[in-house]
Amino acid sequence: MKLKKVILASHGDLSKGMLHSIQVIIGKPSCDIETYSLYPGDSAVEYANKLNEEIKLHPNTQYIVIADVLGGSVHTALMQILDNDNLFLYSGMNMSMVLEVLTCFDDTDQEKLSKFMEAGKEGITLMSKNSLVKIEDEEF
């Protein structure tokens, strides 16, 4: 089995906050995990280039990068290094998705990789007083 490294990448401290929140729920993750935070004046392209060098030095490691926003500067810079077979780049970071990646990932099976996105999507809901009344009516 390949080693796994998860990188949470965001504008500002979202990635750091996400890691902290995840650790409250599951404790210390069993895989290597790091955060990348883009601040004003930083270069996402420089970070992507450094990560690209690291990935090339570790071909037996699966890199799962979860970026905050599709098409944002962090995500766009990381898209430039997708020529690496051992890099998987997600966008739309949320806690459901990150928990799924940290607790279930063990290989590069496309079906399992798609499951992470589904976990993130399923965690997005809208509730209101009317929806709660409807649920109560259906249960009784």
Contact 105, 116 (CB under 8 A): yes
Q: Provide the pLDDT confidence category of residue 113 given band limits of 50, 70 and 90.
A: low
Query: Could you give the domains of the chain?
Result: 3-139 (3.40.50.510)
Q: Tens digits of per-residue pLDDT, 51-90?
A: 999 999 999 999 999 999 999 999 999 999 999 999 999 9
What gap in Å lies between CA 90 and CA 85, rounded to an integer? 15
* pLDDT confidence of residue 1: 44
Is 36 within 8 Å of 9 (Cβ atoms)? yes
